[in-house]
A = this chain, B = another copy of it.
Amino acid sequence: MNIEERKNIRSHIRIYNSLTRKKELFQPIHKEYVGIYVCGPTVYNHLHLGNCRTFILFDLVFRYLKHLGYKVRYVRNITDVGHLENEKDNGEDKILKKSRIEGLEPMEIVQKYTISFHYILNLFNTLPPSIEPTATGHIIEQIDIIQKLIEKNLAYEKNGSIYFNMKKYRKSYSYGILSHNKTDKLFSKQKKFLEEKHCFQDFSLWKRAKKNHIMNWNSPWGKGFPGWHIECTTMSTKYLGEIFDIHGGGMDLKFPHHECELAQAVGVYNNKLANYWMHTNMLTLNDKKMSKSTGNYLSLKDLISKFRKKTFHPTIIRFFILKSHYRSILNFSNKGLIDAEKGYYRLMNGIQKLNFCYSHNNKNNSFIFNVPKWIKKCYEAINDDFNTPLLISYLFEVTHIINSSFINENDMDTIHLLKKYMNYFIFDILGIQIFEKDFLEGSSKKLKRITERLIKIRTEERKKKNWFLSDQIRNELSYIGIFLHDDKII
């Protein structure tokens, strides 16, 4: 693909924008650059599969834009302070709570679950983001933005805490454009939750640290810690500018997290933070929402565990996830995974056959397929709001044709072209990996099995005094480091 072709494909990307509820043509602010911000995990627990969907989708977006030659700066944060257990009533900090339960320093909790997060995403073959800022690493910058909000009268201080002034904000701007939620949904209206705030809907930007609150920092208002929402407004704009291209996250973050992020940004910069807001839909299990509290959830560990009857390689799970469009609800089921696995092998066999054809171009029936047209269709699919299920259906379509065709020497240019784009779509863009069928078993096990059987065959042959063959087998085994010492045959 030359530069011109790339640019042509680029100019047709359309993204569903949660802000406008429409598919819009994607036009980055700076021609060759794209800035993406995705809300990362709060590192107080192992990721479950529901969370993974979001990170896999944005990995695809990252890969695709890079594939098209954009210079992409992909920022995905780590929330290591300020995310409260129950937002509606200002519950305990999630990290602090976990540190109490596990008897560790909060930053030990952060370290433990950050490592787990990276480990899991690595199994899914997601690329690391360009920058991975932490909330505790940006306290000064958060204080800075809060001060700007105070200057604009959009925030006020009370006993060392700072609150967003929703009344004032709504005089100039509207709240809830992303989620169509009203501010009265923000907090419980029980009087005890009003505390020191002017109004129920004022959310906290900075909280005064109580005596035993060990995660705290100096600020102009005394010791305290930031609110969850201000973190993302701060980190995204620090690395991507006051307005950038794409802001992403799970649908459950739309309200109140993204609404509040947006309100803060509108307040400070009088701008909409990001031009395109993308949200991934839910993952359900047995058609119910995955949730830890109800026990209706799956972790990756569950799916690749040896104790499960049927286990799946992480790339199968990735493939399964991408077989649905990110804005549809996706139900996790064994059947769905088994289908995905079958589909995966079909694709891999197709790839293998393509490779085979290429090196043994001695068949004689012609391969009739319009490859350039097919390539165009594939790009159109991804360009249409990352329609991966459609793309995958095209991949199956061509695989079917490959498997039922013979390749002529005259077709080699076409085959070469097809191979190239199959590789682009499957490996570079969808991020699917080749794995050995025995991922969970290992080549070493296969090797063990076959050597055991061989030794058995050899023993039989020796009994028959077939020395030539038995010596041959012994020699073969010695090549791979297995040395047999024969006892006398009884």
Contact = CB atoms under 8 A, between A and B. Distances in A.
A136 to B, nearest CB: 5
Interface stretch (A17-25, A416-424, A476-484): A476-484
Contact of A476 (B128, B143, B450): B450
Contacts of A444: 436, 443
Interface stretch (A104-112, A170-178, A425-433): A104-112
B107 A239 contact: yes
Interface in A138-156: 139-141, 143-144
A453 interface: yes
A105 B461 CA distance: 68
A430 B73 CA distance: 41
A444 to B, nearest CB: 4
Residue of A107, A134, A141 with most partner-chain B CB within 10 A: A107
A217 interface: yes
A473 interface: yes
B111 A132 contact: yes
Contacts of A449: 479-480
A454 B454 contact: yes
A436 B451 CA distance: 16
B134 A108 contact: no
Contacts of A143: 218
Contacts of A373: none
Contacts of A469: 457, 461, 469
Nearest to A130: B108
A453 to B, nearest CB: 5
Number of copies of this chain that the complex holds: 2
Nearest to A240: B105
Contact of A137 (B137, B461, B472): B137
A133 interface: yes
Contacts of A136: 137
Contacts of A473: 457
Categorize the interface residue count of chain A. Answer: 35 or more
Interface in A44-66: none
A336 interface: no
A201 to B, nearest CB: 30
A115 interface: yes
A295 interface: no
Given A105-B73, A107-B133, A476 B453 contact: yes
A371 interface: no
Given A443-B444, A451-B450, A481-B437, A130 B144 contact: no
B137 A480 contact: no
Nearest to A147: B218
Nearest to A217: B140
A480 B239 contact: no
Contact of A131 (B108, B134, B137): B108
A160 interface: no
A105 B436 CA distance: 38
Nearest to A114: B132
A450 B447 contact: yes
Contacts of A104: 130
A454 B476 contact: yes
Contacts of A218: 140, 143-144
B480 A446 contact: yes
A343 interface: no
Contacts of A453: 476, 479
Closest 9 interchain pairs by CB?
A137-B137, A443-B443, A443-B444, A446-B480, A453-B476, A107-B131, A140-B217, A447-B447, A108-B130
Interface of A: 73, 104-105, 107-108, 110-111, 115, 128-134, 136-137, 139-141, 143-144, 217-218, 239, 436-438, 442-444, 446-447, 449-451, 453-454, 457, 461, 469, 472-473, 476-477, 479-481
Given A105-B130, A450-B454, 14 more contacts: A107-B131, A108-B130, A136-B137, A139-B139, A139-B140, A140-B217, A140-B218, A437-B481, A443-B446, A447-B450, A449-B479, A450-B451, A450-B476, A457-B472
